[in-house]
């Protein structure tokens, strides 16, 4: 279970460096579109326990609820190529009483350009009821502590967000 330390500043973003594997690529040696999900979810699953000291299985057991995927918005901008090293960042960009949105970004290894951006919306579902339930006060406090600042989240503004992240990578003249 996550114990919120009110005196601690929590990181609002995770980052992993991974290599694109041969078995995950199509005949053109590009990462298969469906495999991006695996790379994103695995990167976050690997980093959350390291950064926040909590395993998702502990959350599930402690609160008898789990986040399940509700939908995705994804933009494939540049291919991830077989054998290429990439950086994957993830961050919580929005939440309410029963929903959570995580943003995943895949960059080239030097983070010079954005390859893919995805928003995944998760609903918080009770283990026994399989129905949406509200985040407890503790879970809401955790989400507030790790919320990535200054993202103007709205489901219809996905393309604007893609452009915003791309613009952040461009050097200023």
Instruction: Look at the pTM and tell me if it is higher than 0.85.
Output: yes
Measured CA to CA, the distance from residue 123 to residue 29 in angstroms comes to: 34
pLDDT confidence of residue 165: 96
pLDDT confidence of residue 172: 53
CA atoms within 13 A on the CB side of 119: 21
Which tokens in the block code for residue 155? 């489901």
List, as one string, the DSSP characters of 45-66.
HHHHHHHHS--HHHHHHHHSEE
Alpha-carbon distances of 79 from 23, 113, 160, 161, rounded to whole Å:
15, 11, 20, 19
Question: Facing residues of 91 across strands?
Answer: 103
pLDDT confidence of residue 171: 65
List the pLDDT tens digit at each of the 173 positions of the chain: 667 888 889 999 999 999 999 999 999 999 999 999 999 999 999 999 999 888 888 888 999 999 999 999 999 999 999 999 999 999 999 999 999 999 999 999 999 999 999 999 999 999 999 999 999 999 999 999 999 999 999 999 999 999 999 999 876 55
pLDDT confidence of residue 58: 87
Q: Which domains are present in the chain?
A: 14-167 (3.10.129.10)
| Per-residue exposure over 101-127, b if at least 16 CB sit within 10 Å of its own CB, e if not | bbbbbbbbeeeeebbbbbbbbbbbbee
């Amino acid at each position: 279970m996550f114990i919120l330390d009110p005196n601690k500043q929590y990181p609002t973003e995770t980052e992993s460096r991974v290599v694109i594997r041969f078995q995950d690529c199509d005949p053109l040696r590009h990462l298969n579109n469906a495999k991006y999900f695996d790379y994103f979810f695995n990167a976050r699953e690997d980093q959350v326990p390291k950064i926040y000291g909590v395993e998702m299985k502990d959350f599930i057991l402690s609160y008898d609820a789990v986040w399940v995927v509700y939908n995705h918005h994804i933009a494939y901008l540049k291919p991830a190529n077989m054998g290429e090293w990439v950086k994957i960042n993830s961050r919580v960009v929005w939440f309410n009483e029963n929903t959570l949105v995580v943003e995943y970004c895949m960059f080239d290894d030097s983070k010079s350009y954005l390859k893919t951006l995805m928003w995944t919306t998760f609903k918080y579902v009770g283990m026994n009821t399989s129905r949406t339930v509200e985040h407890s006060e503790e879970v809401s406090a955790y989400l507030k502590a790790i919320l990535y600042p200054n993202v103007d989240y709205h489901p219809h503004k996905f393309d604007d967000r893609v452009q915003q992240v791309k613009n952040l990578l461009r050097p200023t003249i």
